[in-house]
Amino acid sequence: MRKLVIFLVVLLALVIVGDWGLKQAAEREIAKRVAAKVRLTEPPEVTIDGYPFLTQMLSGRYESIHLVSGQISRGEVRVKSLDVRLNGVTAPLEKLLANSGDSITATSATATALVPYGEVQRRVPEGLTVAPAGEFLQLSGEFSVAGVKVPVKSKLKLKVTRRGIVAVPKEVQVGRFPASAVRNRLGFTVPLRELPMKLKVTGVKVTPGGLQVNARGTQVALSGGNLSGGSLEEGTSGN
């Protein structure tokens, strides 16, 4: 009986080690494919959730995969970080082992990204500075009104549109001038409509570190075809 127990313990240990090793290999392969498609210089961090991994690998379906990337550029906008949760990923074993160009897809995906205030500041009218103010953005500084430099302060509410993230002035103070004198000149747009993997931006929130952008998509391709919809490259900090 003792020998049987020892044998079972050793067998279990080998299964656990083997499961972990296969999981690591699959994560590296998925990371490599995503990096190639979105043109990252470094592969993202990939974590395949769930245990045991072996049963998921044999079935070719993974319930949840977590992907984290460092700073990237999306069109004209630099994104400081990207966090993606992929659900219902189909990746048959033969496709992973063959390193083929066949598509690996997820039934659905949700993502968050952080746009640093350095990126937002690039869209702000000259002479003004942007900062977080609770659920709003706040602009402050000096603005030219009728040829005169006057102090300006304004709160802006963010909304997602087809053009991107639009900042709309809500409260405007312009020295001795009426708010209507500058209101239409204070708004701006951050042209971010999609995140990588063609995930549509659905919401935005003001945070101390930047604009937190939420996105989602269905039938998301992780490899095969055009994943990025545009060039994406790692870059330097935009804070």
pLDDT attached to residue 10: 42
Q: Which of 115, 123, 39 is nearest to 81 (CA)?
A: 115
How confident is the model over 73-129, as pLDDT tens digits? 777 888 888 999 999 988 776 666 565 555 678 899 999 999 999 999 999 988 899
Q: Cα–Cα distance between 107 and 237 in angstroms, integer?
A: 33
Out of 32-46, 62-76, 103-117, 138-152, least confident range = 32-46
pLDDT attached to residue 111: 94
What's the average model confidence in pLDDT over 212-234?
A: 65
Instruction: Copy the structure tokens of residue 166.
Output: 């639009």
Mean confidence (pLDDT) of the chain: 78
| H or E stretch covering 72 | strand 72-74
Q: Cα–Cα distance between 83 and 54 in angstroms, integer?
A: 25
Pairing of strands 128-133, 199-207: unpaired
Give 53's Cβ-side CA count (13 Å radius): 19
User: Which pLDDT band, with edges at 50, 70 and 90, does 20 fall under?
Assistant: low
Q: Cα–Cα distance between 216 and 198 in angstroms, integer?
A: 9
Q: Cα–Cα distance between 112 and 195 in angstroms, integer?
A: 9
Higher pLDDT: 221 or 35? It is 221
